[in-house]
């Protein structure tokens, strides 16, 4: 019952903040909800304990009790990735497969090490000595672009279709590499011994990524063929729900990538399934259902991100380093996109200004916060949490609100 009450409060707040955003701020829904949640969090931190101490304590305990990492990585991310993938045109992805593959693998690795190197050398200037292994950990969790933030913002930013596909495709597929990198580096911060040979890491990556993709393909084709034998939109929607929830359980049991399972299953059902297995009525209901799920989950997620501010012990002690971390992450993003694009002979050349849009459109979001919260409590967790939060909020608010204008200006010469 406690869980029901907790989610009830979050749903009420999400709907109220969404209403306020539409009436007053008139920003993109996710950004507006997050900004209002951040504002409320600041009020609670500054004056809440003096004006309404009991309510403040109860709300703080409510936020603290939620396992954000488990809620996002174990539940919400699966729904959001499936909802996003089911609306992506597979032919567009296939046309841009080379840059998507390179940017979702090689670029993540390049960015991880660039961020680590820069943070390790710059942090002492701000009187912080962070071990290199923790700088690598931060690089791994902050390097992948967040599919939830990216897909939500790209819906409203008018960028060329090919460029939108590159950015969206990269964000959908880079979780596998990033999570494996993060998991390996996190183990290295602990006393437990771990096999870090090239062979073991390659096997872990192959098992996580390829295993997740294979499971998703099997679920996608199996579900499409099952829906093909019936003509009932209610049962069809229920089956897709079972793919997300049951598919995650299978992926978790097999220790393979749940996010990649959802992406693959969503792509197959959204393309093969819609074309061969669904009547127009079923297709219409399925699209509307998952669009609604996407909107509701996004509202709750960005509400969470805003309220995670309450869990940061000190908002000002690492402000300068947080600002520098934003610059470091942007520079690493630039290098991780520019280096592969300069070396790899992609079939289709990039439009002039496309690299600028890809750098500025590579948003960070809830996945980065979930990963940093999964780090064991220790000497460096609070510092990493604070600078991660600075990067994520800047990314979503500043980059998210301006990516459309940046794209228009950068691509004006084409």
pLDDT of residue 189: 81
pLDDT, average across residues 209-228:
94
- Say what the pLDDT of residue 111 is: 96
Give the pLDDT of residue 89.
86
Q: 3-state secondary structure string, the chain? A: CHHHHHHHHHHHHHHHHHHHHHHHHCCCHHHHHHHHHHHHHHHHHHHHHHHCHHHHHHHHHHHHHCCHHHHHHHHHHHHHHHHHHCCCCHHHHHHCHHHHHHHHHHHHHHHHHHHHHHHHHHHHHHCCCCCHHHHHHHHHHHCCCCHHHHHHHHCCCCCCHHHHHHHHHHHHHCHHHHHHHHHHHHHHCCCCCCCCCHHHHHHHHHHHHHHHHHHHHHHHHHHHHHHHCCCCHHHHHHHHHHHHHHHHHHHHHHCCCHHHHHHHHHHHHHHHHHHHCCCHHHHHHHHHHHHHHHHHHHHHHHHHHHHHHHHCCCCCCCHHHHHHHHHHHHHHHHHHHHHHHHHCCCCCCCCCCHHHHHHHCCCCCHHHHHHHHCCCCCCCHHHHHHHHHHHHHHHHHHHHHHHHHHHHHHCCCC
If you classify domain 68-410 with CATH, what class do you get? Answer: mainly alpha
Q: What is the mean pLDDT of the chain?
A: 87
Give residue-wise pLDDT tens across range 358-375.
999 889 988 899 899 888
Q: Where in the chain is the domain with CATH 1.20.1530.20?
A: 68-410
């Amino acid at each position: 019952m406690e869980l029901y009450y907790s989610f009830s409060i979050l749903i009420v707040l999400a709907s109220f903040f969404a209403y306020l955003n539409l009436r007053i701020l008139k920003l993109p829904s996710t950004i507006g909800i997050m900004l209002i949640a951040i504002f409320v969090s600041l009020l609670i931190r500054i004056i809440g304990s003096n004006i309404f101490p009991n309510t403040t304590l109860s709300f703080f305990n409510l936020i603290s009790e939620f396992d954000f990492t488990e809620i996002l990585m174990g539940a919400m991310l699966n729904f959001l990735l499936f909802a996003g993938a089911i609306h992506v045109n597979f032919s567009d992805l296939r046309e841009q497969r080379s840059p998507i593959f390179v940017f979702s693998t090689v670029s993540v690795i390049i960015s991880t090490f660039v961020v680590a190197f820069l943070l390790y050398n710059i942090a002492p200037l701000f009187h912080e000595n962070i071990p290199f292994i923790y700088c690598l950990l931060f690089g791994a969790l902050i390097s992948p672009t967040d599919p939830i933030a990216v897909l939500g913002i790209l819906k409203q930013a008018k960028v060329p279709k090919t460029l939108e596909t590159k950015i969206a495709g990269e964000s959908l597929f880079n979780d596998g590499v990033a999570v494996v990198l993060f998991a390996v580096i996190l183990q290295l911060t602990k006393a437990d011994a771990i096999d870090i040979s090239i062979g073991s890491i390659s096997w872990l990556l192959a098992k996580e990524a390829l295993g997740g993709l294979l499971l998703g393909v099997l679920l996608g084709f199996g579900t499409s063929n099952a829906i093909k034998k019936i003509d009932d939109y209610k049962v069809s929607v229920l089956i897709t729900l079972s793919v997300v929830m049951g598919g995650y359980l299978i992926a978790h049991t097999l220790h393979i990538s749940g996010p990649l399972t959802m992406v693959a299953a969503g792509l197959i059902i959204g393309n093969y399934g819609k074309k061969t297995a669904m009547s127009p009525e079923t297709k219409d209901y399925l699209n509307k259902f998952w669009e609604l799920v996407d909107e509701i989950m996004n509202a709750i997620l960005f509400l969470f991100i805003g309220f995670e501010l309450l869990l940061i012990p000190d908002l000002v002690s690492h402000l300068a380093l947080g600002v520098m971390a934003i610059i470091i992450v942007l520079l690493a993003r630039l290098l991780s996109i520019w280096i592969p694009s300069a070396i790899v002979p992609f079939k289709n050349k990039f439009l002039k200004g496309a690299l600028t849009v890809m750098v500025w459109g590579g948003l960070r979001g809830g996945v980065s916060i979930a990963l940093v919260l999964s780090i064991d409590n220790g000497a460096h967790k609070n510092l990493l949490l604070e600078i991660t939060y600075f990067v994520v909020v800047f990314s979503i608010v500043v980059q998210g609100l301006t990516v459309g204008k940046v794209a228009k200006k950068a691509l004006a010469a084409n």
